[in-house]
A and B are shown apart, each in its own frame.
Chain A
Amino acid sequence: MKKSGLRGRGGAGFPSGLKWSFMPKVSDGRPAYLVVNADESEPGTCKDREIMRHDPHKLVEGCLIAGVAMRACAAYIYIRGEYVNERRNLQRAVKEAYEAGYIGKNACGSGYDFDVHIHFGAGAYICGEETALLESLEGKQGKPRLKPPFPANTGLYGCPSTVTNVETVAVSPTILRRGPEWFASFGRKNNSGTKLFCISGHVNTPCTVEEEMSIPLRELIERHAGGVRGGWDNLLAIIPGGSSVPLIPKSVCDDILMDFDALKAAQTGLGTAAVIVMDKSTDVVDAIARLSYFYKHESCGQCTPCREGTGWLWMMMERMKAGKAMIEEIDTLWELTKQIEGHTICALGDAAAWPVQGLIRHFRPEMERRIRERAAMEIEEPMEAAG
C-alpha cells in the first residue's frame, strides 16, 4: 500500500500506507478496529454512494484486506443515515459474504476471524470527521475529540482504530491484485492512482466518473460532463474539491491539473474531488453565503471559534450578498476567517473559513461593486430604518 502511493480519498490526502502502519503491531490486550467512513456529506460529493450501490463487494473485500493489514478484529462501516437504500444494499452484500464464508469466523479459510458490521448515522456532516465519527459510533453526540491522542492509539471504545474513507478501502483489493506499480503508473509523482470525480453544477451532463489523477480540469469537464453550460468561456469559477476548499476563478481553471499538489499550489485543494462548476449566470456571493449557512447548520457547537464564527460568517455573507456593508467590512470578514482557521478542535472551522477566503481572494471586485451600488441606491432613496 505504501509503494502504490495511495493517498487518502476522504479529503485530506494523507498517505494511506503510512496511516495504516500507525496501528500497533502487537496488541496490548485491546482489540483493534477498522472503521470505514461512509458518511459522505461533503457538498458536491456523491462517489461513495456509487461504490456502495453498485459494487459493495469491493468494499467488503477491502475491509477484510485492510483489517488483516492492521490486525483488526472487526470493521464498522459507518454509513450516513440518509443513504437508506445504499445501506440495505450493502447489508445484502455483507450477508452474502458471510454466507460464502469470505468474512466471519475463519475468513476465506485463512484462520483469521473478521466481522463486518454496518452502523448508520442520522444526518450530521460533522460525523464525517474521524473522531466525531468515533463518538457517534459510540452512541453519543458527534462532537470531535482533541487529537492527540490519535485514533490509532485511542479510537473506538478506547481501542486502536483507523478511520478510512470508502474509496481508499475499496481500491485496496485492486492494488494488491494488480500490483502497486500499476496503480502508481497513473497520475504524477506523489499523486498516483485513479479517483472518482463528481462533476456537478452548471455543466451540460453532470456525472460521476473514475478518472486518472492529474488530469487537466478542462479535459475532465469537457470529455465527461459535456463541457460548461454555454461553452468554456461562460465559466465563472469552480470549486474543485467539495465545498470545503476555496474556489478558483476561470483564469486558474484553464490549465490546472486535478491532483493534490497542483491544487495546493493554486491555494485550493483536491479534497474529495467534487467539482462544482459555476457559470457566469451564478450569483457567486449567494453560492458562498449558502455554504456559510451549511457550515453554521452543521457546526457541532463544541468550540467557540466555530460555533460563534460560522454564525457570524453567515450573517456577514448574507449582508454582502445584498451589498449591505461597508468596503472595510470585507477586511473584517477576512480577519474573521483567519481567526477561525486553525483555532478549532477539528477541521470544520477551516472548512468554513476557506470558501469565504477564496471568494474574497478572487472576487473582491464583485463584492465591492455590490456594496457601492447599494450605497449609491441608498443615497438616492430614503434610508431604511437602521438595523
Chain B
Amino acid sequence: MSHYPANYKQSAVIPLLDLAQQQHGGWLTISAMNKVAEILGMAPIRVYEVATFYSMFNRTKVGKYHLLVCGTTPCRLRGSCDIEEALLKHLGVERNEVTSDGLFSVGEMECMGCCVNAPMIVVADYTKGAEGYTYNYYEDLTPKKVIELVEILRRGESPPPGTQNPDRFNCAPAGGQKTLLCEPKPPPCRDLDAC
C-alpha cells in the first residue's frame, strides 16, 4: 500500500486480493473480499466488482495445484487442445472441476504471453501458502510431457519451470541463437526514402 498516494489506497485492491487468494488455498471468499474492503476503506461492492472482473481471481474452490492451459490461437496452432484433453483425461475431471483428492484442477486461460514457446501451461501452486506461492510457466509441452509433469507434482516435487525442450534456451530458437554470431552487417541498400 505504500506504493500509492495516501489518498488513493484503492489502488492496492488487486495486490491485496491476490495475497488473500494465496493465503486461502487459491480462492476468494466473500469474507476475504469484505476484509480487503475494510482495510482499504472502500465500499465492499467496489471490491466485488474487481474480484469478478479479472480472470485470475477464483471465486470457487480450486485444486492445490491449479493448472491453467493457454487456449488462444498461437498456442492452439501448436496443439494446446491436445494438451488440455490429455490433462482432463488423465486426471478424470472436467474443466474447472477439482480432483477428488483436492490436488489438481484444470482451467483455461487466454493468451499468457508465451507464444513462441507454445503450447504451455501454468501451475499455480497453493500448497505452501503465500510465502511459498509460485506461478510457474511450463512451456514447449507435448501431451506426454504434461502428464509426466503432473506426476512429478503429485509426488510433491518441483519440476524445472520454463521451456521443457532441452534444445532451447528461453525464447531462443531450438538449436541455438542465430543472431550476434558475427560482426553486424550495414543495412542493405533499400530505397530508404520510399514510403
- A200–B135 touching, CB < 8 Å: no
- A82–B74 touching, CB < 8 Å: no
Which of A40, A82, A136, A297 has the most B CB atoms < 10 Å from its CB?
A82
- A226–B173 touching, CB < 8 Å: yes
CB proximity of A201 to chain B, nearest CB, Å: 5
- A206–B118 touching, CB < 8 Å: yes
- A44–B76 touching, CB < 8 Å: no
- B111–A224 touching, CB < 8 Å: no
Interface residue tally of chain B, by bracket? 35 or more
- A185–B187 touching, CB < 8 Å: yes
Instruction: Name the interface residues of B168-195: CB closer than 8 Å to any CB of A.
Output: 170-175, 178-179, 187, 190-195
Say yes or no for A150: interface residue by CB 8 A criterion: no
Q: Which listed segment binds B: A18-26, A113-121, A346-354, A376-384?
A: A113-121
- A45–B115 touching, CB < 8 Å: yes
Say yes or no for B14: interface residue by CB 8 A criterion: yes
- A294–B73 touching, CB < 8 Å: yes
Say yes or no for A339: interface residue by CB 8 A criterion: no
Q: Cα distance A190–B193 when bound, in Å? A: 9
Say yes or no for B122: interface residue by CB 8 A criterion: yes
Contacts of A36 in B (CB 8 A): none
Contacts of A85 in B (CB 8 A): 135-137, 161
Q: Cα distance A39–B56 when bound, in Å? A: 14
Contacts of A204 in B (CB 8 A): 174
In the complex, per-residue mask of A69-110: 1 if CB is within 8 Å of any chain B CB, else 0 = 000000010001111110000000000000000000000000
Contacts of B34 in A (CB 8 A): none
Contact of B113 among A45, A185, A291 (CB under 8 A): A45
- B115–A138 touching, CB < 8 Å: no
Interface residue tally of chain A, by bracket? 35 or more
CB proximity of B185 to chain A, nearest CB, Å: 10
- B112–A141 touching, CB < 8 Å: no
Say yes or no for B153: interface residue by CB 8 A criterion: no
Knowing A82-B113, A157-B5, A287-B76, the reply to whether A120 touches B187 (Cβ < 8 A) is no
Q: How many A-B residue pairs have CB under 8 A?
A: 195
Knowing A123-B55, A198-B115, A223-B178, the reply to whether A139 touches B50 (Cβ < 8 A) is yes
Say yes or no for A32: interface residue by CB 8 A criterion: no
- A124–B55 touching, CB < 8 Å: yes
CB proximity of B41 to chain A, nearest CB, Å: 11
**Which B residue sits closest to A277, measured CB to CB?**
B77
Say yes or no for B23: interface residue by CB 8 A criterion: no
Contacts of B192 in A (CB 8 A): 188-189
**Which B residue sits closest to A274, measured CB to CB?**
B115
Instruction: Name the interface residues of A38-77: CB closer than 8 Å to any CB of B.
Output: 40-46, 48-50, 53-54, 76
CB proximity of A369 to chain B, nearest CB, Å: 21
- B110–A142 touching, CB < 8 Å: no
- A188–B190 touching, CB < 8 Å: yes
Say yes or no for A333: interface residue by CB 8 A criterion: no
CB proximity of A15 to chain B, nearest CB, Å: 14
- B187–A212 touching, CB < 8 Å: yes
**Interface SS majority for chain B:** loop
- B74–A43 touching, CB < 8 Å: yes
Contact of A139 among B13, B73, B193 (CB under 8 A): B13
- A82–B112 touching, CB < 8 Å: yes
**Which A residue sits closest to B15, measured CB to CB?**
A120
Instruction: Name the interface residues of B71-109: CB closer than 8 Å to any CB of A.
Output: 71-74, 76-78, 109
- B117–A206 touching, CB < 8 Å: yes
Knowing A46-B116, A206-B117, A274-B115, the reply to whether A82 touches B109 (Cβ < 8 A) is yes
**Which B residue sits closest to A207, measured CB to CB?**
B173
- B50–A119 touching, CB < 8 Å: no
Contact of B77 among A41, A138, A225, A276 (CB under 8 A): A276
Say yes or no for A368: interface residue by CB 8 A criterion: no
- B115–A200 touching, CB < 8 Å: yes
In the complex, per-residue mask of B152-165: 1 if CB is within 8 Å of any chain A CB, else 0 = 00000000010000
In the complex, per-residue mask of A169-213: 1 if CB is within 8 Å of any chain B CB, else 0 = 000000000000000011111100000001111101111111010
Say yes or no for A12: interface residue by CB 8 A criterion: no
- A276–B73 touching, CB < 8 Å: yes
- B113–A49 touching, CB < 8 Å: yes
Instruction: Name the interface residues of B1-50: CB closer than 8 Å to any CB of A.
Output: 3-5, 8-15, 17-18, 40, 42, 46, 49-50
- A136–B161 touching, CB < 8 Å: no
Contacts of A124 in B (CB 8 A): 53-55
Contacts of B53 in A (CB 8 A): 124, 141-142, 300
Excluding A46-B171, A141-B53, A287-B77, 12 further A-B contacts by CB distance (< 8 Å) are A44-B73, A45-B115, A81-B56, A84-B135, A117-B4, A190-B195, A200-B77, A207-B116, A207-B173, A224-B179, A276-B74, A294-B110
A–B Cβ pairs within 8 angstroms, 16 of them? A43-B74, A82-B112, A140-B49, A157-B8, A185-B187, A186-B187, A188-B195, A200-B77, A200-B118, A201-B74, A201-B77, A205-B174, A224-B179, A226-B174, A290-B76, A297-B110
Q: Which residues of B contact A (CB under 8 A)?
A: 3-5, 8-15, 17-18, 40, 42, 46, 49-50, 53-57, 71-74, 76-78, 109-118, 122, 134-137, 161, 170-175, 178-179, 187, 190-195
